[in-house]
Amino acid sequence: MNFIRKIVKPKSIEDKTFYFELKNLLNFSPKQISKYKKAFTHRSVHMTDSQGNPLNYERLEFLGDSILGSVIASYLYKKVPSGSEGYLTQMRSKIVSREHLNELGKDLELIRFVKSNIDKNTVGDNIHGNIFEALVGAIYLDKGYNFAQKFIYENVILPYIDIEKLEGKITSYKGLIIEWCQKQKKKYKFETYEDSGNETIKHFSVKVSIDGEQIAKGRATSKKKAEEQAAKRVYFAFQNEISAI
């Protein structure tokens, strides 16, 4: 007996609006709308299924991250036949970097779909990349690998990936400075301390010294951001020497 698979269309007005906005975004008709709703549900909502399992985007984010990585790896393997394992790994890391994924999520305006009990303006930039990965995971579960691959090609590879530009893109100034110092046998030190001042939001400051001399400072709301800011300033201070390596 042959069975015809039917798309389950939403019944409520809210679900209908979500369905058609999602369809325009994806360029195909989603079947299981619940998977996409889960992809845009923040943990602050505290939703669970009948077994008590959390209903939020975090597990879908994990799945989408793996699928995105495999699609990008396959693309690079075919696109750059001369690329070594190290080169391909580095290029993939640049494409799926948190910064890049956040940009993708913002460009697609995915935040408009998010259901959260926290003000969306206070959850941080990473939510944009997180829900992008969760969306890829939802597509995979709903329509399969080929649809997820097509979505990634249309929304990541075709509009954003330029091999030549990516080769020169710096994804971590701190990593670059450390690598340069190690090659040049220079001693480096990243000194981090809390520096909130009179502000309610916690800040961190970083001092970077090379061979005992303080070169630059950085200040931000996280240690990582402060380190990158300071390292970036070190990079521009020694740009000619670093570029010559």
Half-sphere exposure of 123 (CA within 13 A, CB side): 19
Catalytic status, residue 133: yes
Contact 104, 112 (CB under 8 A): no
Exactly one of 61, 133, 142, 228 is catalytic; name it: 133
Q: 139: buried, middle or exposed (CB in 10 Å: 19+, 13-18, 0-12)?
A: buried
Q: Which is nearest to 156 in space by CA: 111, 81, 112, 97?
A: 97
Q: What is the rounded CA–CA span in Å between residue 11 and residue 172?
A: 47
DSSP string, 25-90: HHTS--S-HHHHHHHTB-GGG--B-TTS-B-SSHHHHHHHHHHHHHHHHHHHHHH-TT--HHHHHH
Exactly one of 65, 142, 227, 228 is catalytic; name it: 65
For β-strands 213-220 and 188-194, DSSP reports them as unpaired
Residues annotated as part of the active site: 65, 133
